[in-house]
Amino acid sequence: MKRAVSVFLTLLLLVPLFIPVITVRANDNITYNVLEIVSHANQLSSSPLKQELGSTSNINVTTMTMKRFVALRDELDGKYDAIVISSGDYNPTKLGMTTSSNRSASHNTTNILNDVTDLKAGQIKQFYIDKGLPVFLHDSSVKKYPTSKLYSYSQSNAWKSKTNVIFFTTNTNMKNYFATNGTKRPHFVLTNAPSSTQVYTKGDTLSFVYQITNYTQFQNKLLTVNLYIDSDFNDKYTSEEIVASKQVQGATGTISYTLPAGYSGPRYWKVEIVDETSALKDYEKGFVKFQDVVANIKVLQIRKGNDASSLLNTKNMNPSFLSRTNEYHINIDVTTLADFQKSKVYEPNYSHEVINGKYDMIIFGFADCYNGCGSVISLNQNTVQSVKNFIQSGQSVMFTHDVMFGANNVWVNEFGPIVQQIQPQTDLGNGAPNASTSTKQVNSGLMTNYPFALGDSITIATTHNQYYTLNLENENVIPWYNINGSPRDVHDSWNHYYTYSNGNVTYSGTGHVGTTSAFPEDEQKLFVNTMYRAFFGSNHAPQLTVITPRENEKIPSNQPIELSYKVEDLDLVDRTFSTKVWLNDQEVYAQNNVPNGTTIIQSLPHNMPNGGTAKIKIEATDARGAKVTKEFQVVIEKVSANIEVSRTISKTLAPVHEPVTIQYTLTPKPLSLLTNTLLKVTNVAFEEKLPAGIEVVSLPNGFTKQGTITEGYTIKGMLPDISFVKSGTTYVAEPQTFVIQVKPMTKGTFSLSQAKLTYKDINTQVVNLSFNALSFVSDYKITDVTLPSTMFVNRGVPKNARLLLNVLPQEATIASVEWSENSNGQIISIDQNGVITALQEGTAQVTARVKDVFGNVKTATMTVIVRIPVDSMTINDFTVHVGETIPIPITVSPADAKKAVSYSLGNSLYAEVNGANGTITGLKEGVTTLTIQAFNRNDELIEKTVTVTVQAIPVTAVVVSPTVVHMNIGETTTLTATVAPNNATYKTITWRSSNPNIASVDENGKITGVSTGQVTITAQAHNGVIGTAVVHVGSPLTGISLPSTFVVQKGKTINVLPYIAPIPANATTKIVSRSFTISNSYYAVVDSNGEVTAKRLGETPLTVKLIDENGKAWTASTVIRVVEHATDPTKGGNKNGWLY
């Protein structure tokens, strides 16, 4: 399946706050849709269920026969609220081989083949029984035939044991059932949808407005709205075709999608709303008309022989039907089986060997006994294999009337399994009994609606039944029309099929009179619809656009062929292609796994110095084998000029805004001349017109640029003259080179083909030369790839992760995306389209590996959780600190359901939640709410909201270092303060001094001694916690002094210790020891305490020695003078009455 890309984000984490759980009850505003299956067509108009319900207005019953039910390919999932198999005769008997005697009567299959298929029984179980929707079975009817599949399934434990499988005898009591139980399925209507008559183009937006009519029943559940586009036109919608998805936020909403490029034609859409947990859903479908690339459909009709069945015959096909302006054009070629089987050597136009890449569809038809019937026309094995390869590559084949005739022939054996015609072989059509020109539509889709809207019954050329049973067990087999006409059961697609498809293969019963009678207009329109659907539903060959060179372009023989071509595949499923190039029948280039949309640039040497015609063949093949081939030729011209010009480019793939260097070379050719004059080439002028979008980075000296980047710059410049000097018998000149550097400013392919050189040759003639064309591609490098952190997936509801993938820049071309998951397919599976399927409860990691065209790889990882129902959750208000990450304190029962819980914050300013890990991180002080949501076993949302207080981590201690400081006045030192714990939120410290007059401290803890004394320095945290240090400020001792003389009376004592004066006076240095010394103890003595005793008259020096705390010695001296009172003051030597 294919899909278009649209970016969206749908996460359970975004679920809004829901109202409390309510009890599911019937909703009177709902109309219940019920499918009733009956056994016979005569029950349709007045079915048992319709009779039971009477005029009940809120139950809409769709009644169909079992034969029609097993042939319908409508999407059963999400279409009905209940299924009823009413009373009837569900005879399983099959039709066997008929004979000429009973063949006509055997067309009436009304009373047989009324059994269910395995396919449809499986759908009833998967989409209804397993999801809890009611299935009503008429007890005696389903038990009537013990050999039937209906009996086997209805009596199996998988059906019978379920309470929602209700066996009834007379009435279903459905009215009471819905009145009591309502429906478990969401219902919605589209109140606004795109018009099916308006024409949309690329870039237009489709918007759908929906209203959920029973929203009150689901407002406490997770609903998702999905928009699908049937991108491969197979009338099915798969997960990879989801182009937009979003979570339902209320009873009404809008979902939109922007249309990408593609072929003109209808775009079939489906909008569904699904209950994520139960996978129950509702949907609506429609289509819009789209115009963009005209579909050129190439068809090869292979006739049995040269008969009149050609679709080019206007009686068989109105030419006006084959085209419609701006929409499609069908071109039909016609050949015969004989020519088709030839090799291309003998039949180059229509051989089976050339169909791949040339045609989108081949038709085998139309003729009675197309395969020869009694004398089977054989197909050689090479032809058979070519057709099989064509089908296997996804391209279309249409088989027609009588291709599958007989048994054990090449047609039946080789193509029977492909067209899904199986045993029993009935031979109903043998001899053409009960021929008919009437049909009855079975399924509706592109085949019946476009380009022509066909009726419920169309007129066809006379035809009859075919010979084998159609395999209705194959879901890909879609019956479109059955043959009508008595005595057929028109609903029997097992036997009465007229036109059906199996994937890219179509079968038509037309051709019985294809060579003798015209096709009616309805049938012609059906053929056109068939060819149109075949084209859109098939794998298309890539589109190949040659950029350079042009057909028959002239290329100088000295220059290589600069080949550039772009390959695009509008089939979005084809993401890569392989390509080859041949030059003159020699393969010169081959590359595999090239990303879709790539421009190939190759410089091809041709080795044709003398010129000639070069044949180029390019082939591109998609991953499924569809290929396109383009052949053309160029003319290689022998260069006669005396100068050859060429240039090279530094890279052919350049990032936007990054420089590209072009080197130009002028190569003079040796000249053989008889002259002695100076040979010079003059007036050498260069000029080049650059494409728009290229900026000039640097130019040679003297060169100029003119113009703008939007229109493309023109570069001009003069080059030095070229002088030839004689060398032996020739004149030679040195090559000249110069460089121009440019850079692309936008994404795109740039072709540089307008570089010219003009000069005056040695013969004064003006010569004009062109440089070889160059091409390069610019693109954006991928800078980032992201996925949501978490995705929730439920079993039965696949999710497309590709829609969640965000690639930056968005303009960057994605070469490839590889998806992987780490559960080894145990919890989830993921395909290469990014579709995730839940397998069992648990958690897995999904990784997207994205590569750009430069080979750069970026990866993104997402946690995928397959939900586990939650029985209970317990959580209370809690506190988290700023910067702290803690597990969310929740208790979940069962414990392994914790991964299924989702969390959402009221204000993400204060905290951050990691849903995958179940943790919360405090960001900022404050208060917020945390809402916890999960689903219980009844698919009901349970929810709790708690208050989360985010607090700072407090400082518990402040440690100041050092704790004691000794310093002197004028000195500085710095304290440090360390807070505990280390992860405290606020670590700011405020410093203060107990007495700044002794020591001051600044905001950084720097203290300065001011005066002597002791202070306490305090470091305080924001919450008041403190740390302290004691600082002692002192004044250092620089010396000591004593009075110059101590006068002591003989026999008396004096202590000199108090007279020792420190210098300075406020010195705080501690003295640890002291000693006293007297020079002459005859006069006086001193003890260890400084006590001086005077003995005799006279004088003696005294020395004091102090040792301070630093071990430094300080000394001071004085004189001790001993005196006494004079007894005879008249004697000499006395002074003032004292003797000295």
Range in 171-180, 371-380, 1019-1028, 1079-1088 the model is least confident about? 371-380
Residue 69 to residue 63: CA distance in whole angstroms: 9
Q: At what angle do helices 410-419 and 381-392 cross, to 10 degrees?
A: 10
Q: Which residue has the higher pLDDT, 573 or 251?
A: 251
CB 206 within 8 A of CB 200: yes
pLDDT at site 792 = 84
Residue 865 to residue 790: CA distance in whole angstroms: 7
Residue 731 to residue 304: CA distance in whole angstroms: 73
- Range 982-989 average pLDDT: 90
Burial of 546 (0-12, 13-18, 19+ CB in 10 A): middle
- Percent share of the chain, pLDDT over 70: 95
E strand or H helix at 335 = strand 328-336
- Range 312-334 average pLDDT: 95
pLDDT at site 285 = 96
pLDDT at site 675 = 67
CB 946 within 8 A of CB 890: no
pLDDT at site 514 = 61
- Range 488-503 average pLDDT: 96
HEC string for 11-71: CHHHCCCCCCCCCCCCCCCCCEEEEEEECCHHHCCCCHHHHHHCCCCCEEEEEEEHHHHHH
Q: What is the pLDDT of residues 431-478, one digit of tens each?
A: 999 999 999 999 999 999 999 999 999 999 999 999 999 999 999 999
The residues that bridge with 858 in the sheet, in sequence order, are 850
CB 715 within 8 A of CB 728: no
Domains and CATH numbers, the chain: 32-181 (3.40.50), 187-291 (2.60.40.150), 295-537 (3.40.50.880), 541-640 (2.60.40.10), 642-779 (2.60.40.740), 784-866 (2.60.40.1080), 872-951 (2.60.40.10), 957-1034 (2.60.40.1080), 1039-1139 (2.60.40.10)
Residue 467 to residue 673: CA distance in whole angstroms: 88
Range in 9-23, 42-56, 313-327, 1025-1039 the model is least confident about? 9-23
Q: What is the pLDDT of residues 255-293, one digit of tens each?
A: 999 999 888 999 999 999 998 878 899 999 999 999 999
pLDDT at site 66 = 98
Give CA angle at 65 (154, 68), nearest 5°. Answer: 100
pLDDT at site 901 = 87
Is 10's pLDDT higher than 70? no
Q: Give the Cβ contact number of residue 602 at 10 Å.
A: 17
- Range 328-343 average pLDDT: 96
E strand or H helix at 244 = strand 242-247
Alpha helices in 622-771 (DSSP H): none
Q: Tokens 């009890």 correspond to what residue?
A: 23
440: closest CA among 427, 426, 454, 421? 454
User: Which pLDDT band holds residue 1132 (cuts at 50, 70, 90)?
Assistant: low
- Range 113-141 average pLDDT: 97
- Range 187-203 average pLDDT: 96
Q: What is the pLDDT of residues 712-746, one digit of tens each?
A: 999 999 999 999 988 888 899 999 999 999 999 99
pLDDT at site 693 = 97
Handedness of CA 793, 799, 801, 806 (dihedral sign): negative
Q: What is the pLDDT of residues 231-248, one digit of tens each?
A: 888 888 999 899 999 989
Is 508's pLDDT higher than 70? yes
CB 1108 within 8 A of CB 1082: no
Q: Would you give the distance in Å from CA 591 to the centre of its chain?
A: 26
E strand or H helix at 1100 = strand 1098-1108
CB 673 within 8 A of CB 731: yes
Q: What is the pLDDT of residues 736-786, one digit of tens each?
A: 999 999 999 999 999 999 999 999 998 889 999 999 999 999 999 999 999
Prediction pTM value: 0.70
Q: What is the pLDDT of residues 786-812, one digit of tens each?
A: 999 888 888 788 899 999 999 999 999
Is 515's pLDDT higher than 70? no
